[in-house]
Amino acid sequence: MIHNVGILGVGHPRTGSKMLQILLNSWGLATTHEGHSIHGIISWQFATDADAPLPAYRLDEVSQKVQPRDYTFENIIYHIRDPFYSIPSIALTETFSLKFRSKWGNFKISKNRVENTIKSILAWDKLILEKNPDIIFRIEYDTQKLFDFIKNVYGDGVSMNTSEWDNKHNKRNHQGWGVLMNELEQVDVSLLEEMNNFCHKYGYKKIFDTSNKSLIREDFNIDDMRIVPNSEHYYEFIRELRTHPSNLDGFVEHVEITTEQQIEYMSKYGKDYEICLEKKVPVGFIGVVDNDIRFAVSPEHHGKGIGTYMIWDLIHKKPNSKAKVKHNNLASIKVFERCGFKLYNKDENFLYYSL
Ligand SMILES: CC(C)(COP(=O)(O)OP(=O)(O)OC[C@H]1O[C@@H](n2cnc3c(N)ncnc32)[C@H](O)[C@@H]1OP(=O)(O)O)[C@@H](O)C(=O)NCCC(=O)NCCS
């Protein structure tokens, strides 16, 4: 018997299936991670039509014999995670499913864990795209987009609740890229290029410098980052960042701000600001005043993803915030667009973005 179920959530292992389940559950849908519930199934194995091989896959409260071929779905959600983070996680912790992935992803297992992982992510991408997913959900940026999609399908009964969300769901500890660098050096350039193209396709930063087979990105470790409330302690930090010659051009008003003016402004609006710390050192600020976002990152940390991280954090807290961006502020535009903001207006001076 073929069961028709609402949702299939599918992606490569270690790319956010658990987070997808928690989000859907928090919005009132019954879906189960690696199992079957009224509203659907979330499972990486359903990228294939293979009989379920793993014990986790006794899908069933329903029947011990349920297999992917017994299901059809109304909506397919493809969850994706930035491969810069998923590659080490998969290579170092997801060994038990490699044989299955290589068989169904049609690649040969080598001794090189980075190579296996890249091939596996690309193979799963191909398998899932062949299923014509209805929505691609980048777990870092697309919570709002997913919510809008779900609301559209399931109606007003669905309500947003992101209180359960944090980036450490289903986390497995591992040593990160550091222990994989020798293997990275042995991977074919063409495969690294394919991975970079994958990143480009889904709006992630490129990972590899193919000229010397190294990582382009600094090892920006999400565990080192904290967003904390603003306090008097940070007023001067914000002032310096706001008026730094490398940052000044990005802001709407191009003004010098004295320490006294800063204290006065902060006594009124300081509570609307937050500070981004990396290993406890302040590296950026973000504020929303009159629903308008303003943010900056210390110039020596530009381009590492901190601006994106701050906006991504903000949209979970204040999804109605808007941004007014100068036409030439390409870094800012990139960050907002990557985080799912859409241009809703423009004039001579500014581009106006909202989610
Ligand atoms: C805007 C700002 C906060 C972004 O912070 P950040 O930490 O550098 O942002 P991210 O690293 O997450 O992303 C920036 C992206 O813009 C790109 N970028 C930076 N300068 C760029 C330029 N001149 N042209 C094109 N792209 C540029 C970076 O390469 C990066 O893209 P990538 O992720 O694809 O590599 C930071 O540039 C800043 O402090 N600017 C000055 C203040 C400002 O303009 N604030 C915004 C007011 S609305």
Whether residue 233 lies inside any domain: the answer is yes
Domain boundary among 127, 157, 187: 157
State whether 138 and 229 are in the same domain: no
**Least confidently predicted of 8-12, 93-97, 152-156:** 152-156
State whether 234 and 331 are in the same domain: yes
State whether 236 and 324 are in the same domain: yes
Domain boundary among 106, 123, 157: 157
Whether residue 192 lies inside any domain: the answer is no
State whether 148 and 27 are in the same domain: yes
**Least confidently predicted of 32-36, 149-153, 298-302, 309-313:** 32-36
Residue 272's domain spans which residues? 222-354
Mutation probe of ligand 1 site: the residue of 288, 297, 325, 354 with most atoms within 8 A of C-beta = 297
Tens digit of each residue's pLDDT (9 = 90 or more) over 95-136:
988 998 999 999 999 999 999 999 999 999 999 999 999 999
State whether 104 and 226 are in the same domain: no
Domain boundary among 140, 157, 174: 157
The CATH number covering residue 315 comes to 3.40.630.30
Whether residue 191 lies inside any domain: the answer is no
CA distances from 148 to 30, 151, 154, 158, 313 (A): 17, 5, 10, 10, 18
- Average pLDDT over the chain reads 86
Spacing, Cα 35 to ligand 1 middle (Å): 41
State whether 137 and 12 are in the same domain: yes
Spacing, Cα 47 to ligand 1 middle (Å): 35
The atom number, within ligand 1, closest to the CA of 325 reads: 48
Return the residue whose CA atom lies nearest to atom 32 of ligand 1. 205
Spacing, Cα 309 to ligand 1 middle (Å): 11
Reply yes or no on whether the pLDDT at 166 is more than 70: no
The reported pLDDT for the residue numbered 246 is: 84
The CATH number covering residue 64 comes to 3.40.50
* 267-291: average pLDDT: 95
Q: Put residue 176 in one of left, alpha, beta given phi > 0 → left and psi -120 to 50 → alpha.
A: left
Percent of the chain surpassing pLDDT 90: 53
**Structural domain count of the chain:** 2
Whether residue 194 lies inside any domain: the answer is no
**Two tokens at 131?**
């299923």
Reply yes or no on whether the pLDDT at 67 is more than 90: no
Which residue in this structure is represented by tokens 């800012």? 332
Whether residue 203 lies inside any domain: the answer is no
The reported pLDDT for the residue numbered 245 is: 84
Q: Do residues 79 and 16 lie in contact, with contact meaning Cβ atoms separated by under 8 Å?
A: yes
State whether 118 and 234 are in the same domain: no
Q: Backbone phi, then psi, for 40, in 5-degree steps?
A: 150, -170
Rounded to whole angstroms, the Cα distance separating 329 from 352 reads: 12
- What pTM was estimated for this model as a whole? 0.74
